[in-house]
Every structure is written in C-alpha cells, then in structure tokens.
Amino acid sequence: MLLSASPSSLAKSSLEEMLDSLRRKEEEEAKPKDLPPALPARPASRARLPPARRSLPNNFKVGDGSNAMPECLPNGFDCKRKEDELGEKRRSDGFGSKKVKMMMDADSPYLASSGKVRELEDDNISYIIKKKLCVWCRQPSGLWELGTIQSTSGEEASVLLSNGNVINVARSEFVPANPKIFEGVDDLMKLCYLNEPSVLHNIKFRHSQDMIYTKAGPILIAVNPFKDLQIFGNDRISAYKQKFTNSPHVFAVADEAFTKMMRDEANQSIIISGESGSGKTETAKIAMQYLAAVGRSNRGTEEKILQTNHVLEAFGNAKTSRNENSSRFGKLIEIHFSTMGKIYGAKVQTFLIEKSRVVQLASGERSYHIFYQLCAGSSFGLKERLNLRAASYYKYLNQSECLMIDGIDDAKKFHQLMKALDIVQICKEDQELIFKVLAAILWLGNISFKVADSENDIEVLDDEAVTSAARLMGCSSQALKAALSTKKIQPEKDTNTKKLILQQAIQTRDEIAKFMYENLFNWIVDQINRSLQVGKRCTGKSINILDITGFESFQKSSFEQFCINYANERLQQHLNRHLFKQEQEDYESDGIEWTKIYFKDNQECLDLFERKPHSLLSLLDEESNLPKASDLTFANKLKQHLGTNPCFKGERGRAFSVRHYEGEVLYDTNGFLEKNRDFMPSDSVQFLASCKCELLPLFSKMFDQSLKCSNSFGTGAVDSQEQSVCKKFKGQLFNLIDQLECTTPHFIRCIRPNTKQLPDIYDEDLVLQQLKCSGILEVVRTSRAGYPTRMTHQEFSTRYGFLLSEANKYQDPLSTSVAILQQFNIPSEMYQFGYTKLYLRAGQTGSLELKRKQVLQGIVVVQKYFRGYQARSYFQELKKGVATFQSFVRGEITRRKFGVMKPSITIYSKNLEEIQAIIQLQSVIRGWLARKDASTPNGFKSYPENAKHRRKSLVKMLEVKDISKERVQNLPSPLAQLQRRVDKAEEENAKLREQLKQSERKWAEYEAKMKSMEEAWQKQRASLQMSLVAARKSLASDSGNTQPTRNEVLSPRYYGSEDATLGSRTAVNTPIKFSSNFAVSDGGREANGIRERGTSGTLSSLMKEFDQRRQNFDDEVKALNDVKPGNSTTTNSIEEFRKLKQSFEGWKKQYKVRLRETKAKLHEADKSRRTWWGKLKN
C-alpha cells in the first residue's frame, strides 16, 4: 500500500496566514472578495512540524497540473505548470522557466519553437495588482527592476521603480518579488517566489556583502570575488569540523563528503564546474585544504598533496584573455583515507594538456608559468649552467607581447615551486634535468632557418640558439641541425635523406618542442604519484576532486576549445543525470506520486559529438586518416552530414557553430586535422633517443611503448601513430565518467561575476547566462518538490530499527519503517513509500540521526562501564592467582633451602645446648657472689679506678665533638666571606693544628686504655694460676684419705665481669672456699692441667698480638704528628687519622671476638669441675 501526501491536509506557511488574514479583513469590510492566489502546500524544512493554523477556504484547491499557481511560496513545493494556450507541450527554457513572459531565442534548440510566452494565472495577477505588492519589471533592455504597483489600466500597470521613475508595464512583464525578510537567504530553496530576478537579486545581495557562497539545493554556487577574503582560515576549518556552523561554504561540501564517506563507507566525489575564470582551481584547492586538515596524520602526506598544487599550476596553468591563472589541463585528484579517516595516499590523473601553447600564443596571453618563473627566479649558478636569458629574449615567450601579470612575482613563485618540488620528493638532480629540458625548449624556439637554393631547401642558422639547445639536449650541433632540416626516406633497402622546406622545418622544430613539454609534464605527474602512492594499504575509501578546464568561447575557437567544451558537455550530462533524470526515473519506477519537472537536457548536443556513424568526433577521425584531406574538406563534410542537426550550424568557409548548453560557439577548423593527428616523425623520435640528456631518451622510450600498445589493436602504421587525440580524449572522458558513477557526487558551480576580473562588480547578464546554462532554477525546483533522501526498506529498518520500543517491533522491513516514522511523529506528507525504497523530504532524517546518535552514545557508555568491570574482575582474579603461585614457589624454594641447611641446623642445636648450660653456670656463680657480697659488713660495690678514667675520657670526647660541631656550624658561608678568605687562612691552619693535638690526646687515651686492659689480663692470668694451684693442693689432700676441714681457695671472679675490651671494668679476684672432701681423680686433674696449659697459651698469644698492634698504632700516630702545622697537607693528615681510626675499630672488633672465644673455652674448663665443685659445696 502506497502512502502519499494529501496537499489539502498540509499546514499553511507564514505567508499563507498573512494572506488569509487579509481575506478575512476584506470580508469584514463587506467588500468584493479577492481571494489570494493558489498557494501550494509545503512542509517545513529540517523536519520541523509547521504550526497548525486556520485552513484555507473550501474553494481553495491545489492545482492538478492545469490550473496551479506557477510560483512557489516560502519554502514551498513546486506546483504543476499550465500548458500554453496553443496546447503545445511546455519545454524548459532554462533558468527563468516560471516568469510571466520571456522572449525566446528562435535559434536555440532547447526553447519552444513557437516563441510564445507564458502568462500568470488571472487570480494571481489580480491579487498582486489589487494589493499593490512589490514586483520585478522587465525593462526594454532586458534587465529587471524592482518596483511597486501604483495603479492598473486594463492589461497594463503603472509601476513606481526604485529609482523614482514611473513606467507602464504589461501584466505579462512583471513577476512577484520576495518580502524583505527573505533578502540574502543562504539557500535559494527558502525563497517565496523562485523566479529569475529574485535569484539574481539574492546572489547579488550576498556578493555585495562578501558572502560568495549560496546553496541551490544540492549545488553550491560559488561566485568568484576576485579578491582575498578572510574566510578560509583554521578557525573556519575548526568550526565546520566540529559542526558549529552549517552556512554555505566549500568547507561544508568537503565536510559532507568526508562524513558520508566515513558513515556510509562509500567513495565520494566533488565535481567543480564553471566557465573559464570562475575560480574552479582555487575552489579545488580550498576543498583539498579542508580534507588535509580533517585527515591529518603523522606521515605528512597531506602536505605533499597540498604542494602538488604549486607544481601542477606552474607546469599546467597559464594566463589567458579570461583568466590570469587558467588551468590548461583537466585533473582528478583521488585522495585515499584509512579506516580511521586519516590521509595516507593520493593519485593525480590529468587530461589533455594544451601543448600547442608552448609554441603558439594569442595576443595578450602567456605560455605556461614555469618558463617565466625559471627566467626570473633561477639562481646565478643555474642561469650560467642553462645559459638562461630574460623571458623577453625567447621567441616562444615574446610573440604575444605579454611577459608579466599584474600583482604576480614570478621570482617568488619560482622559490615556492622549488620548495614544493622538495616536499613531493623530486630530488635536486631531477630538478636540474627538468630545468634543462625547459631551457632547451626555449632555445629551440630561437633557432632560425634560411632558404638555401631555388628549390626552397633550407639550412639552419648556426648561432647561439643551436649551440645552447644542442648542449642542453646532450647532442652535437650538427645532429640537431640535421634533425631540423632533413627527413629520412626509406625505400626497400636504402635510406635517403631529403631537405625540408621552410614550413616543414618550422613544424618539425615545434613538434619536437611540444613533444618534449608534454612528456615532461606527464613525467612530473608520474613522479608526484610515486611520492603519494597508496600501494597495498588501499582501503577503498576515497574522495575525488575534479577540476577540469572550464567552458570557453572565443571569437574563433580552435581545436583545444572544441575538446574542452566537449568535456564540459559530458560533465553537464553527468550532473543532469544525477539531479534530474535518475531521480525522476526512480520516482516513476518505484510508484511515487510525482509531477515531472522539465529541465534543459544537453543529450542532443552530446549525440552531435558522439553518435555514430556521423558525429563530429567520428568525422574528424575519418578525415584525419585520409592523406589528402584538409581542414576545408573536413568542414564541408560536417556541413554535408550534420546540416540537419538542430545543434549544428554550418558557416562560411572552414567555420561551423555548435549550440552548447552554455551557448553557441563558433569554431574555425584551421589546424583541426593536424592537431588531431598529433604527428611526431619517427626521425625526430630517434634523434631524441640518441640524446645524452637523461630525460629525452626516456621520453622516446615511453613514446615507443605507447606505439606498441596502439599497434597491437591494429591502428595502422607507425607514422600514423596511435589513436587520434579526440579518440584518446574520448576514452579518458568515458573512464572518468565511469569512475565518477561509482561515487556519491557533490556539485559546486563556480560563477564569474564580470569579464574584467575586478572585485565588487556584478554583471547581471553574465551571471544570468551562467545560471541558465547550469539549470540552477530547475535544480532548486526538483530539490524542493523531490525526496532527496532515499533508502531501501531494509537499509532504513536496519539503521533505525533499534530505536523502536519492544512493543512496536516487527519482522518485515516495511512494517518496521512505518513504525519508526509513526513513533517519531514524522508527518505523512514528509515521506512516501515506494515499491522498494522509502523517500523522505529534505531534513527529515535529522531527528532520527540525532536520536540514533544519542542512543549509540548511551550504549557506548554502558559498554565502557561493563568493559571496565570485566577488566577489573579479570585483574583481581589474575592478581589472586599470581599470589597463590608465588606462595607455592616461595614454599618450594624454602623447602629446598631447608633440606640443604638441615645438617648445619642440627650442629647449631647442639651448640645451643652447650651455651644454655654455660649461661646457667654463670647465673649460679653470679647469684653466689651476690649473696656473699650482701653478707659482708660493708654492703656496697666497689668499682675499679680505671672506670672513672674511662668515663672522663668519654666526656672529653663528647665535648670535643660538640665543640667541633659548633665550629662547623659557626663557620661563615664561603660565598659571604669570599673576600676575607685570605685573612682567615691562618686561623683555619691554627684550628687544624688544634685538631691534630686533640687527635694526639685521643691516641694517648687509647694507649692508656690498652695498657689498663693489659694489666687486667695479667691479673686475670695470675688469679687463674693461683686457682689452679689451690685446686692441685686440694686434690692432693683428698688422695691421702684424710678428712680435713674446709679450706679456702680463690675462685676467678672474671666470669661475672664485662668484656675486657670495653674498658669499663677490670676483673677482680675474689677468694672462694671449697670443701676439702671434694675428690677428683687423677685423670680429671690431668685433663684440667691440659686445659689450663691450652688456656694459658691462648692468652699469651693474645697478649703478644696486642703488644704488636699497639706498637704499630703508636708508630703511625707519631708519623702523622710529625707533619708540620703550616704544611698544605694538613687536610690529608686528618683524613689519615680517620682511616687509622677505622682500622683500629676494625681490629678491636676482631680482637673482641677472639677474647669471647677464649672466654668460652674457660667456661668449658669450669664445666668439667662441676662434680668436685658440687661435693665441695656440700
């Protein structure tokens, strides 16, 4: 079931409400009713639902194609047109197809042949006249003037013009004007009345405000300002990139192409059209600037792409009578993007460079920029190597008497070119070769000839031009002269040479120069493509920017204009197909209710160029293959076969006219056949192959390869060469169109506001003619009445189906699409369902895309948190597992280590038992001694005198340390006391001497301590000997079986004392009485004697070591004290004292350990006496 819009149910616009209020006011005043004109119902733009207002009267109807209003009101759809009174089918006359009356050119093949005019409907005209609204009036000169209706008289109206004049105008010669509120709108679709003067005035108003861009539905109109405008900076790029603005701009078109490429994953193309001088090249550069900024990456490819513009402009652009920087070739720049939208490569394709400009110039024009830049900007060394002169010296450049362009510095441009060549990675050696070839071409043009004999044979004048050209080309002067003055004739076996006449020699020279420049240009393009190559990283995402030479029409156009205009016809047909034909065909085939809109179709003109067997191109190729054909015979053949074609008109002599979509162009066939053949003699190719300049043999090799390819297709002999220029160019155009058909197109129409190339001048006739040719009005009508958004049911349901609630979900795509539109309250007049697709008005997907974006962003947020939870959970599990694994590893390492240490642990446990036994013995002895001391009358503990001495020495050392610290803290800052350093040097030396004395005192104290320790050791030894003697006597008395009384013996007291090495106390012998009945066997006594002897030996060795170490330390201290106070090595002496102290501390620790070992041995000896000691105690 198909859903269609019901016009009677549509809400009214603001203008309708105004008219309705006027009608009600008239009813209240009881005056005759003047109903407003029929207003077509229209939806509001950008998916905004229009407010509900009072409906129109019952007798107000929308026309069905026969009585509808011929004008569109605010943002309205186009209504159906009325056929003229004669019943002839209406044909579009281009831009102003809806004006009241327009005189049509009887010669135009696109306009109605009857020449009748169309009239506004009576109700519209009556209403406009009655209300005295503003109208546009056509002047006798053809211009439109704004005025206000003052009065009417029959079929005429008196109109007050804006300049104050009052004129009488026929009712058919004025059209309604838009209200002031619509002045300068940025989109022509927003105009109330879409007519010729309204569009012209709107564009003129915006041009006067430096707003050079205006939208016309899907087309961007770009008016060349002929001045620099500050609307292309980085701030503007950021604004369009971040969607802060959507005003008409080349940036907006480029951003739309980039967005669709990333969203739909479909290749895009930006097609820039317009006549010569309208600003196509600059527009293409602006689009590339935006894409380079959006797709910027770290590889620097975007900078290379931008710099290719400088290189291609220098070698492919020239000054013409219409444009100071005219592209004399077509180019397609294919920019490739990664999946993330970053530029990573590009490819440049060129079409049909105008090589005849190298050798022949029209008055007031220049050759290619590179020649003038090379002569003006090259360095002194480069000029010497190339033997360069000023540009005025070369005949190829001075023949047009135009050597400079106002406001252009060729030397500065040359320096920019050098930087660009470096960026695109053309090395210095190759740059030198390029300049060599260019200089050789200039010197070739200065070679002159003279007639040598009566048979018109010529000779080459041997002058500087021949010498310089031969040197630059890498050949001898004789070889160059022979190549220019003779040609080889090859019979079956012999090879003969023949002299050339003057015209043939000049033609040969010029052909060599054109051949060299064309191949040089192609070689440079190949080098650029190598620098920008994509390779295997191609993802299939690309944006193509097409900039082709604009439409040209001169007083007598030549072969180059013939090819250029044919290319523009083909591109215009591509635009028509996408904006008119394909769209309307889709509506009809898909069952959409649609009123067909007529447009200016250029298919007839294309058939004139292409349709076989008799077309312009086929007849030109046919005549080019005939040896005796001439330009005149070609013109006659065209008149013979194409005279009945409405787009062709034969002229006198060799001329003919073609009615292009841009207008009629007069062509002169002079040189058509020669330029189409593009003949290059094989002798000249062989000569270039023999040259030593590296590039020239390469050019010959490329030429031979192209010949082999063409001969493989059976194109004829070698001298006939490959395909003709027209056939080759036609093939390139077809390939280009095939490539563009695989992309989503975006159109930019450039407009030239005046022919003087001056700013702030607006030529209405010139602009009107360009707008007519491009069919802007028809494009706007189609866009307003059409459905620019078209998606299959499956695509629509897939893209927006997830927005539906669970209750509204369906299985089939059609039902899903209907549910989506109903859920989001999109009015039924805003869409139609076809058999396979859903058709939506402009702006209706905006709300859907916004909602989709919000939902997707919410989904991404949920996914973000869920992924974060997953990552954290995984990390915790991993952490726990790692900790478990580490515990097992550490346990295994510990167990292995325990297995190795188990024997040593066993040994350590045995020693631990012995130590515990010794400690217990010590505790018993200390307890007995403490009890004994407590039982004495004087119950106090005496301390050795050396302890007091040791405490005093410690106090002194601490005082010395405190004093030294205070001195260090009180030392002045070196920076603050820098000037008084010399004065205080003696004080510092005195301090050092004091420190030395303190060190001597410390050493003396250390020596006293060591002596006291020695005395303590001697006393301990003596007491031990006395104890042993007493023990022997006791044992001897026991052996005599006697029971003596208790005897008192001395026991060593040093067991309870601290380590002697500390120097805090000395061991004191205290007598202890043992019982005489404590019996010890002889074996025990012998064992005790052995132990006593071992202990005595150990003590003696320790004493000897102590004496030796003391002597060594004394000697070293004396040596250090011998240093004189004024010696510079005082600081080193202090350092030596510190080292000596460290050495002493280390030895003291070792000595302490050995003393402890000796003490342990003594305890072991005491343990062996435990038996007899216990008996004695009992």
Binding-site positions? 274-281
Structure tokens at 431: 């740059």
**Which DSSP letter does residue 707 get?**
H
Rounded distance between C-alpha atoms, residue 916 and residue 714, angstroms: 118
Q: Which residues are paired to 135 by β-bridges?
A: 147, 176
Among 92, 97, 173, 88, CA closest to 129: 173
Pair 477, 687: CB distance under 8 Å: no
Among 81, 27, 98, 21, CA closest to 54: 21
The dihedral of CA 633, 635, 640, 641: what is its sign? positive
Side-chain-side CA neighbours of 793 within 13 Å: the count stands at 16
Pair 7, 62: CB distance under 8 Å: yes
**Which DSSP letter does residue 1128 get?**
T
**Which DSSP letter does residue 171 get?**
G
Neighbour tally for 906: CB within 10 Å? 9
Pair 111, 92: CB distance under 8 Å: no
Pair 274, 240: CB distance under 8 Å: no
Among 731, 716, 653, CA closest to 679: 716
Distances (CA, A) of 1085 to 376, 870, 1167: 126, 84, 13
Name the residue with tokens 């060594």. Answer: 1112
Give the Cα-Cα-Cα angle 396, 398, 404 (nearest 5 degrees): 115
Rounded distance between C-alpha atoms, residue 309 and residue 303, angstroms: 11
Rounded distance between C-alpha atoms, residue 43 and residue 715, angstroms: 59
In this structure, the chain runs to a length of 1178
- Count, in order, helices (H) and strands (E) of the chain: 34, 26
C-alpha radius of gyration, the chain, whole number: 56
Relative to beta strand 789-792, strand 663-668 is unpaired
Binding residues for ATP: 274-281
Distances (CA, A) of 12 to 39, 44, 52, 73: 9, 9, 8, 10
Distances (CA, A) of 579 to 218, 483, 769, 806: 8, 54, 20, 39
Alpha helices, DSSP H, located in 446-555: 464-473, 477-485, 502-532
Alpha helices, DSSP H, located in 742-775: 764-774
Name the residue with tokens 């004008």. Answer: 71
Rounded distance between C-alpha atoms, residue 912 and residue 1111, angstroms: 39
Pair 667, 620: CB distance under 8 Å: no
Q: Which amino acid is located at 348 in the chain? A: V
Residue 795, classed as helix, strand or coil, is helix
Phi/psi of residue 44, each to 5°?
-70, 150
**Which DSSP letter does residue 578 get?**
I
- Burial of residue 949 (CB within 10 Å: 0-12, 13-18, 19+) is middle
Any idea of the CA torsion for 506, 509, 514, 520, to the nearest 10 degrees?
-170
Neighbour tally for 718: CB within 10 Å? 13
Residues 6+ apart with CB under 8 A from 346: 301, 304, 305, 308, 333, 334, 335, 336, 532, 534
